[in-house]
Amino acid sequence: MKKILGMIEAELKSAFTACGYEEKFGKAVLSNRPDLCEYQCNGAMAAAKAYKKKPIDIAGDVVAKLREGHMFSLCDAVMPGFINLKLDGGFVAEYLNQMAADQRLGLETQEKPLTIIVDYGGANVAKPLHVGHLRSAVIGESIKRMGRALGHNMIGDVHLGDWGLQMGLIIEELRDRKPELPYFDESFTGAYPKEAPFTISELEDIYPTASKKAKFKADEAREQGMSEEEIAAKEAASKAFAERAHLATRKLQEGYPPYTAIWNHIMNVSKADLKKNYGNLSVSFDLWKGESDAQKYIPDLIQNLIDQGLAYESQGALVVDIGEPADTKELPPCIVRKSDGAALYATSDLGTIIEREKDFHPDAYIYIADKRQELHFTQVFRVAKKAGFVAPDQSMSFLGFGTMNGKDGKPFKTRDGGVMRLEHLIADIDEAVYQRIMENRTVSEEEAKETAKTVGLAALKYGDLSNQAAKDYIFDIDRFISFEGNTGPYILYTIVRIKSILSKYRDQQGSTESLAILPAASEAEKDLMLEIAKYNDVLETAFAEKAPHKICQYIYDLSNDFNRFYHDTKILSEEDKKQQASWIGLITLAKDVLSACIQVLGFEAPERM
């Protein structure tokens, strides 16, 4: 379906042309004086300059023309030359009836759906998911779902960090813990065990222990009163361990079979756990690829960069310049190979692009990561374009997000200052919501537990998504789980409320007759109707701008409009059955639009709460 604003604009344009003015002046915007009108056109002011006339006269001409049509119940020319508009109630009702009859609620189908890779999640294998990864998963999932709802071919890839130093650290820590394993016996020639030599909880302990071992902090030890002698010994041990880890990483990257076998175990155990964790967030990926998958493309791509004369040696490393004339500050070149030949983050991303081109040749790429990675992505995109790995018209964009902070304004931590694990964070929210639900004690404990999970997820995701992605935000559990205000639970509460009215109506009526929506009978009803009608516009804009917060703002406004309307309107006791059926049709549509929006945001509503 066409967007309402577009329809208004078409009407305005033909009125301007009919009066002898250029159509470009017929622009419609939402009214900034909602007390006077719903929409307005300010084009007469601009046209006045072009035609050397008074704006009010031009507005007057156009208004006279518009009044011949049926789209507006009000169209006025007001000083100095505004055109104030209110849509005809019948027109709006007809629009909503069409939306209600459409499975896609008025979203246009794509003539040419785009294939778009969404690179998000970005978990690092064997390191527990922490809140830093939360944002990427939550925002990325929503962007992917938006595109999908609009009819594009969206491919989500988790792009695991699975090829770095953490692997060498784990291998060496495992050697220290279980030296008897065949992976560490160079004379071993048999087949390696199928069973992993660790469980997920061991693995979760192995990495942090190893990482600490490799980074002995002399200053801290000194503060704690450790003797210089002991410090020197520990420092040496730490250095030796780190060297072993580097070596093991290198050997793994060169394909040394025992380490490859360990790596496979790490991948299997860790991926299973990641899938569970992402699942709890209602986040799912089409592809479970990672940095390791990119490695086989790297030698060729580096050769290609050299052959094209793009890559050159600089201080032992191989680099590509990425500066462009329009840059306001100088950007450092992209390092594609370090002096020791080791794999690099940027090179992995370039290799991944080669693979994605081969497998999908996407129209566009969207990457979602911490905004501190902006330079990295600028470098990767520019090298990819310069080298022709992607065509000039393929869009590559980076959506960088801010930090989730605690109430103290510093990056969110556990109570004792540690890094908060995602699953603990989720458990905390669920528990808080559970307590709130149990305050009223209208449902069984079991149902309350289930509902708390659904509501908790909405609280968490809405709390994140309702902020502009690039901004930092404060994780405030009490505010996020509140049933009032701009929160996930408030939206769910509104949906649940509508569901309950609908079920009462069904009990009362016994049948579902046709529910034709009639023109609004009150101002609150008209507001609700106009808000519903914006759905296709909001979703398209939010996707084009990669701005889930615009959907949040929309459903918050829509919920407020519904609650205001419902407050004024006695739906269930209405005697005029046609009127009642119309309202039921209207709130059904409101519920469907709200539900479609939260589905896109990545959460759902419970039956009751």
Spell out the residues 6+ positions from residue 579 whose beta carbon is closer than 8 angstroms to its own: 518, 521
Q: Closer to ligand ARG at the Cβ: 399 or 496?
A: 399
- Give the pair of three-digit tokens for residue 106: 């008025």
Helix axes 577-601, 131-149, angle to 10 degrees: 130
User: What is the closest distance, in whole angstroms, from the C-beta atom of residue 29 to ligand ARG in the complex?
Assistant: 38
Q: Closer to ligand ARG at the Cβ: 355 or 447?
A: 355
Amino acid at position 585, single letter: G
User: What is the closest distance, in whole angstroms, from the C-beta atom of residue 333 to ligand ARG in the complex?
Assistant: 18
Out of 369, 452, 515, 597, the only residue in the binding site for ligand ARG (CB under 6 A) is 369
Contact 113, 351 (CB under 8 A): no
User: What is the Cα 473 distance to its own chain's centre?
Assistant: 15
| Choices 97-105, 116-124, 178-186, 258-266 (CB under 6 A): range interacting with ligand ARG | 116-124
User: What is the closest distance, in whole angstroms, from the C-beta atom of residue 159 to ligand ARG in the complex?
Assistant: 4
- Give the pair of three-digit tokens for residue 555: 């459903």
Q: Closer to ligand ARG at the Cβ: 73 or 284?
A: 284
Q: Closer to ligand ARG at the Cβ: 159 or 499?
A: 159
By Cβ distance, which residue is nearest to ligand ARG?
122
Burial category of 430 from C-beta neighbours within 10 Å (exposed 0-12, middle 13-18, buried 19 and up): buried
Q: Closer to ligand ARG at the Cβ: 113 or 400?
A: 400
User: What is the closest distance, in whole angstroms, from the C-beta atom of residue 125 to ligand ARG in the complex?
Assistant: 9
**Count of residues for the chain?**
609
Q: Closer to ligand ARG at the Cβ: 163 or 565?
A: 163
Q: Is 356 helix (H, G, I), strand (E, B) or coil?
A: helix
Tokens 């945001």, located at residue: 601
Contacts 24+ apart (CB under 8 A), 420-426: 420/130, 420/131, 421/128, 421/129, 421/130, 422/128, 422/129, 422/130, 422/131, 422/133, 422/134, 422/277, 422/281, 423/129, 423/277, 423/280, 425/131, 425/134, 425/460, 426/280, 426/281, 426/456, 426/457, 426/460
User: What is the closest distance, in whole angstroms, from the C-beta atom of residue 483 to ligand ARG in the complex?
Assistant: 34
Q: List the 29-30 sheet strands across, edge first.
A: 29-30, 39-41, 82-87, 72-78
Q: Is 83 helix (H, G, I), strand (E, B) or coil?
A: strand
Site for ligand ARG in 220-279 (CB under 6 A): none
Q: Is residue 362 within the footprint of ligand ARG (CB under 6 A)?
A: no
User: What is the closest distance, in whole angstroms, from the C-beta atom of residue 216 to ligand ARG in the complex?
Assistant: 24
Tokens 């009702």, located at residue: 93
User: What is the closest distance, in whole angstroms, from the C-beta atom of residue 38 to ligand ARG in the complex?
Assistant: 43
Q: Is residue 161 within the footprint of ligand ARG (CB under 6 A)?
A: yes
Out of 38, 61, 119, 173, the only residue in the binding site for ligand ARG (CB under 6 A) is 119
Amino acid at position 463, single letter: G
Q: Closer to ligand ARG at the Cβ: 350 or 448?
A: 350
Q: Strand 334-337 and strand 395-401: pairing?
A: unpaired
Q: Closer to ligand ARG at the Cβ: 72 or 278?
A: 278
Phi first, then psi: give them for residue 365, nearest 5 degrees. -120, 135
Helix axes 228-254, 257-280, angle to 10 degrees: 100
| Choices 117-125, 383-391, 393-401, 415-423 (CB under 6 A): range interacting with ligand ARG | 117-125
User: What is the closest distance, in whole angstroms, from the C-beta atom of residue 344 to ligand ARG in the complex?
Assistant: 11
User: What is the closest distance, in whole angstroms, from the C-beta atom of residue 415 to ligand ARG in the complex?
Assistant: 24
Q: Closer to ligand ARG at the Cβ: 349 or 561?
A: 349
User: What is the closest distance, in whole angstroms, from the C-beta atom of residue 204 to ligand ARG in the complex?
Assistant: 16
| Choices 89-97, 119-127, 279-287, 554-562 (CB under 6 A): range interacting with ligand ARG | 119-127
Q: Closer to ligand ARG at the Cβ: 259 or 398?
A: 398
User: What is the closest distance, in whole angstroms, from the C-beta atom of residue 122 to ligand ARG in the complex?
Assistant: 3
| Choices 50-58, 118-126, 211-219, 244-252 (CB under 6 A): range interacting with ligand ARG | 118-126
Which stretches of 125-274 are assigned E, i.e. beta strand? 153-157
Out of 263, 297, 367, 556, the only residue in the binding site for ligand ARG (CB under 6 A) is 367
- Give the pair of three-digit tokens for residue 15: 């009125």
User: What is the closest distance, in whole angstroms, from the C-beta atom of residue 345 to ligand ARG in the complex?
Assistant: 7
Contact 451, 608 (CB under 8 A): yes
The single-letter DSSP state of residue 302 is H
Q: Closer to ligand ARG at the Cβ: 86 or 135?
A: 135
User: What is the closest distance, in whole angstroms, from the C-beta atom of residue 163 to ligand ARG in the complex?
Assistant: 10
Q: Is residue 381 within the footprint of ligand ARG (CB under 6 A)?
A: no
Site for ligand ARG in 325-354 (CB under 6 A): 349
Out of 81, 122, 197, 489, the only residue in the binding site for ligand ARG (CB under 6 A) is 122
Contact 420, 404 (CB under 8 A): no
User: What is the closest distance, in whole angstroms, from the C-beta atom of residue 385 to ligand ARG in the complex?
Assistant: 16
Q: Is residue 531 within the footprint of ligand ARG (CB under 6 A)?
A: no
Q: Is 238 helix (H, G, I), strand (E, B) or coil?
A: helix
Q: Is residue 159 within the footprint of ligand ARG (CB under 6 A)?
A: yes
Q: Is residue 124 within the footprint of ligand ARG (CB under 6 A)?
A: yes
Q: Closer to ligand ARG at the Cβ: 291 or 527?
A: 291
Cβ of 29: how many Cβ atoms within 10 Å?
13
Q: Closer to ligand ARG at the Cβ: 38 or 349?
A: 349
Peptide bond into 489 cis (omega under 30): no
**Could you tell me the CA-to-CA distances from 186 to 176, 181, 182, 257, 259 in Å, in that order?**
16, 11, 8, 11, 11
Distance CA(99)–CA(535), nearest Å, equals 10
Q: Strand 334-337 and strand 317-320: pairing?
A: antiparallel
User: What is the closest distance, in whole angstroms, from the C-beta atom of residue 349 to ligand ARG in the complex?
Assistant: 5
Q: Closer to ligand ARG at the Cβ: 106 or 362?
A: 362
Phi first, then psi: give them for residue 501, nearest 5 degrees. -65, -45
Contact 400, 366 (CB under 8 A): no
- Give the pair of three-digit tokens for residue 418: 């540690």
Q: Closer to ligand ARG at the Cβ: 352 or 486?
A: 352
Phi first, then psi: give them for residue 462, nearest 5 degrees. -65, -40
Burial category of 61 from C-beta neighbours within 10 Å (exposed 0-12, middle 13-18, buried 19 and up): buried
Binding-site size for ligand ARG (CB under 6 A) equals 8
Contact 118, 157 (CB under 8 A): yes
Which stretches of the chain bind ligand ARG, using CB under 6 A? Answer: 119, 122, 124, 159, 161, 349, 367, 369
